[in-house]
Amino acid sequence: MAGKLSFSYSKMSTYQECPLKYKFRYVDKLYEPPKYFFAFGTALHKVMEYLYSSQKPPFPTLQEVLDFFKKDWESSTWQEKGYESAEKELAGYDEGFIIITAYYQKFCKEFFAPVSTEFRTTVDFGDISVVGIVDRIDYLGGGKISIVDYKTGKKIKREPDQLMMYQKLLFGNKELEERVKACHPRVKNIEVSNMLFLHLKGPEFEQQRFSPASDEEMQDFWARALGVADSIKKEKFDANPGEMQCRFCDFKKYCPVWNLDKSAGRDFALEQQPQQEIPPAVQEPQNPLDKLSILADRYGKALKEVKDLEQEIISLMRQEDINRHFGKEFEVNLTKIKTVNFKDRKKTLDTLKELNLLGKTVAPTLGKIKALLDDPSVSDGQKEALSALADFGEEYKLDCIKTDK
């Protein structure tokens, strides 16, 4: 691979997961379907950038932040975001609405202007060019800074490798020094004081803090990073099959290892060394958390398969205009359910305030607003005003039970 290698932490972690996956994604640039969790994370990152974009008070109000989130969210369709349905996308919006509101209420008294948000830098190290985008850099005084990286996925204990990559890129960074000195001209040297992952999930908004890497730790990390970069330069793209790597990989149809083992009737994900006989007892994870991770992935895949089957059955039953059908062992029943959706969120919130119903929703999510239409304590006039804002539709619920045959 000639020329400078463009490198980053995400590329490093992808290669460590599976070198062949790296090739499919970054060299061959094969198509990957959109993922809803990426879209959700990107939306919240944009909100945080907007919130901390002010260089001095006043900071955006909560309503301004929510309006920004709404406008950005509505700039793409649920299909473009990777959601399974418009209803799932709306649930994602509601979750984001609640997270943003809780974050604002928890931290609004502590808002400050950071040194930078979404700080992008590129640093050359010999024949590799390393790119990093730091979510937020805070100035702590005395030339000390804090590196903040937002996480929107599940809560897990993370290794500091990503933060160490940022620490490496910010060391002696001239652009960063200029930004700090613009506000604090007496500062001579900039150094990382602490690093943290901030989990954007209320009400705790947990922070996993790390001290900056020591010289020895950084030397070890950087040796690993350069080792990965060197393997990429040498085009070492062997597959690294495994349960966790392969179960939801988007490139399975292109992977020769997957297709070879699949055609042979083997689950290659559990055959790390196919040339050896591995006793079943060894294949079973010894760590309960490892086993739980495998079961969680199997459960998720099963749910996806069930969802696809359900949609196909519903489509055929609607096509044939039937509500009940028998197989050899099971019967399926189709029930029509009325749906309600409030598209104009701002107008709906204003109406809830005018009707003195906002307090009944706690946080005005779609489910809680819909519940007001069946709440006996809500007057007919109030229900009529809410109904005028709603789009009423229908969906179908499928039940499957064992027959007596």
Distance between alpha carbon 318 and the CA centroid of its chain, in Å? 35
Q: Could you report how far apart the first and last alpha carbons of the chain are, in Å? A: 65
State pLDDT tens for residues 326-368: 776 777 888 877 777 777 777 887 787 788 776 666 556 677 7
Q: CA torsion, points 380, 383, 389, 395, in degrees to nearest 10?
A: -120
Residue 14 pLDDT greater than 90, yes or no? yes
How many C-alpha atoms does 373 have within 13 Å on its Cβ side?
Answer: 18
State pLDDT tens for residues 297-313: 788 888 888 888 888 88
Comparing 29 with 343, the larger pLDDT belongs to 29
Q: Tokens 């932040």, residue?
A: 65
Q: Where are the domains of the chain?
A: 17-110, 116-230, 324-402
In sequence order, what DSSP letters do the residues of 157-195 get, joined into one string? Answer: ---THHHHHHHHHHTT-HHHHHHHHHH-TT----EEEEE
Candidate from 79-93, 106-120, 345-359 with smallest mean pLDDT: 345-359
* Nearest-10 crossing angle of helices 215-233, 9-17: 70
Contact yes or no for 125/8 (Cβ under 8 A): no
β-strand partners of 177? none
- Specify the DSSP element, H or E, that contains 398: strand 391-402
- In the structure encoding, which two tokens stand for residue 252, read together? 């399975």
Looking at residue 18, the DSSP 8-state letter turns out to be: -
For the chain, give the percent of residues with pLDDT over 90: 53
Q: Report the distance separating Cα 116 and Cα 178, nearest Å.
A: 11
Band (373; pLDDT cuts 50, 70, 90): confident
Per-residue confidence (pLDDT) for residue 212, from 0 to 100: 97
Q: Is 221 left (phi over 0), alpha (psi -120 to 50) or beta?
A: alpha
CB neighbours (10 Å) of residue 62? 15
Q: Which of 73, 71, 77, 64 is nearest to 43 (CA)?
A: 73
State pLDDT tens for residues 170-211: 999 999 999 999 888 999 889 999 999 999 998 889 999 999
How many C-alpha atoms does 23 have within 13 Å on its Cβ side?
Answer: 17
Task: Report the predicted TM-score, pTM, of the whole model to 2 decimal places.
Answer: 0.66
Q: Rounded mean pLDDT of the chain?
A: 86
Mean pLDDT of 133-146: 95
Q: Report the distance separating Cα 382 and Cα 51, nearest Å.
A: 35
Per-residue confidence (pLDDT) for residue 198, from 0 to 100: 97
Q: Report the distance separating Cα 197 and Cα 201, nearest Å.
A: 12
Q: What are phi and psi of 187, to 5 degrees?
A: -70, 135
Q: CA torsion, points 303, 306, 310, 311, in degrees to nearest 10?
A: 70
- In the structure encoding, which two tokens stand for residue 146, read together? 């804090």
Residue 218 pLDDT greater than 90, yes or no? yes
Q: Report the distance separating Cα 14 and Cα 25, nearest Å.
A: 9
In sequence order, what DSSP letters do the residues of 318-335 get, joined into one string? Answer: HHTT-SEEE-SSEEEEEE
